Amino acid sequence: MRKKQPVSSALRDAEKARNSARRRKTIKGIKLAIATMAAAVFACLFLMPIILTITNSFMTQAEISANYGSVFATTDTGGKVYISEKVNLKFIPDMVSFQQYITVLLKSPEYLLKFWNSVVLVGPIVVFQLFVASLASYGFMRYRGRIREIIFFAYIILMLMPYQVTLVPNYLVSDWLHLLDTYWAIWLPGIFSPFAVFLLTKFMRRIPTSVIEAAQIDGAGEWQIFKRVCMPLCKGALCSAAILVFIDYWNMVEQPLILLADQETHPLSVFLSKINSGEIGLAFAVATIYMVPSLFVFLYGEEYLVEGITYQGGIKG
């Protein structure tokens, strides 16, 4: 009997360990299920406006007015009307209609003009901001000193300020340079925005010093180190910065309203901020078209966006 006691004790300990492992696994599964359900709920909430916009763009103008007319109705003096009835949110139209898209794409070229205004305004900002930020970030990474730290600190302070704070100085400088009512009034502040510089500098600092030193031993100059070492390693960060900068400036409203007096040069985002009761259906169609580039950019660069945020630098095997 004395010899069997240790065996039964070991069996009990093994059973307890298995039960404990089962409990931990069950608790982990429950937590995972709760987290998944919570994520699904939030995903539905975030996707609901997008789905509502897309489906409502296929409604007729009469159906849209019947459902949402009270939301955009105004009084004779231009004031808002009190909404006394519950707004009917419909995700499935009674009758699918392409009339809104026909009007936007074929009958009203002004909307396509505003769409191309958005492309003309945003494209150069994304390209040249990344170019300037790449060079500046390389300089911040390679050269140390008190002056560099002061300049980089100033970049951070400027990045923390919302655009509304610097809007008046930008207006005054653009007026002094005679750039008001031109695309340069939008391009120049965007090209020299500090956000991409901050993001790329933080990323480049994670590149191991040994990689730079190895390139120098092989006889590489500064331009070759920048072009053949830093830029390939910063591909994820560049894509992340491009996506974030594109989405930010694609949705800009204040800058064109203040710096561009001619409405013919306004981007499509300005039109979407001036919806009136007679253009609700068109607004749904225009908003759907306006979302397409942002969605394509995000879906195409999602992998690079995650890589640019999580990658810690160095050489990947």
- Looking at residue 218, its pLDDT comes to 84
Quote the pTM value. 0.77
pLDDT higher at 7 or 213: 213
**CA–CA gap between residue 237 and residue 310 (Å, rounded):** 10
Overall average pLDDT of the 244-267 stretch = 88
Using alpha carbons only, give the angle 300, 304, 306 rounded to the nearest 5 degrees: 115
At 18, list the tokens. 């298995």
- Looking at residue 312, its pLDDT comes to 45
- Looking at residue 132, its pLDDT comes to 92
Asked if 286 and 272 touch (Cβ cutoff 8 Å), the reply is yes
DSSP 176-202: HTT-TTSTHHHHHHHHT-SHHHHHHHH
Phi then psi for 188, rounded to 5 degrees?
A: -60, -50
Q: Would you tell me how many other CB atoms lie within 10 Å of the CB of residue 218?
A: 9
- Looking at residue 86, its pLDDT comes to 66
pLDDT higher at 5 or 104: 104
Q: Is 273 left (phi over 0), alpha (psi -120 to 50) or beta?
A: alpha
Overall average pLDDT of the 258-267 stretch = 86
Question: Quick one: CA torsion of 169, 262, 131, 308, rounded to 10 degrees?
Answer: 90
pLDDT surpasses 60 at 168: yes
Asked if 221 and 229 touch (Cβ cutoff 8 Å), the reply is no
| Band of pLDDT at residue 265, cut at 50, 70 and 90 | confident
DSSP 7-54: HHHHHHHHHHHHHHHHHHHHHHHHHHHHHHHHHHHHHHHHHHHHHHHH
| Band of pLDDT at residue 184, cut at 50, 70 and 90 | very high
- Looking at residue 79, its pLDDT comes to 56
Overall average pLDDT of the 9-24 stretch = 76
Highest mean pLDDT among 67-71, 75-79, 265-269, 307-311: 265-269
| Band of pLDDT at residue 313, cut at 50, 70 and 90 | very low
Q: What is the 3-state secondary structure (H, E, C) of 222-248?
A: HHHHHHHHHHHHCHHHHHHHHHHHHHH
Overall average pLDDT of the 76-80 stretch = 57
pLDDT surpasses 70 at 17: yes
**CA–CA gap between residue 33 and residue 4 (Å, rounded):** 43
- Looking at residue 187, its pLDDT comes to 93
**CA–CA gap between residue 50 and residue 37 (Å, rounded):** 20
pLDDT surpasses 90 at 253: no
- Looking at residue 70, its pLDDT comes to 62
- The count of residues in the chain is 317
Using alpha carbons only, give the angle 282, 114, 284 rounded to the nearest 5 degrees: 20
pLDDT higher at 89 or 269: 269
β-strand partners of 74 = 80
Greatest alpha-carbon span in the chain: 102
**CA–CA gap between residue 33 and residue 17 (Å, rounded):** 24
pLDDT surpasses 90 at 131: yes
pLDDT surpasses 60 at 175: yes
Q: What residue type is 216 in one-letter code?
A: Q
- Looking at residue 147, its pLDDT comes to 81
pLDDT higher at 79 or 105: 105
The residue written with tokens 């300005």 in the block is 270
Average pLDDT, the chain: 81
Instruction: Write out pLDDT tens, residues 114-123.
Output: 888 999 999 9
Any residues with CB less than 8 A from the CB of 103 and at least 6 apart, and which?
A: 282, 285
pLDDT higher at 204 or 317: 204
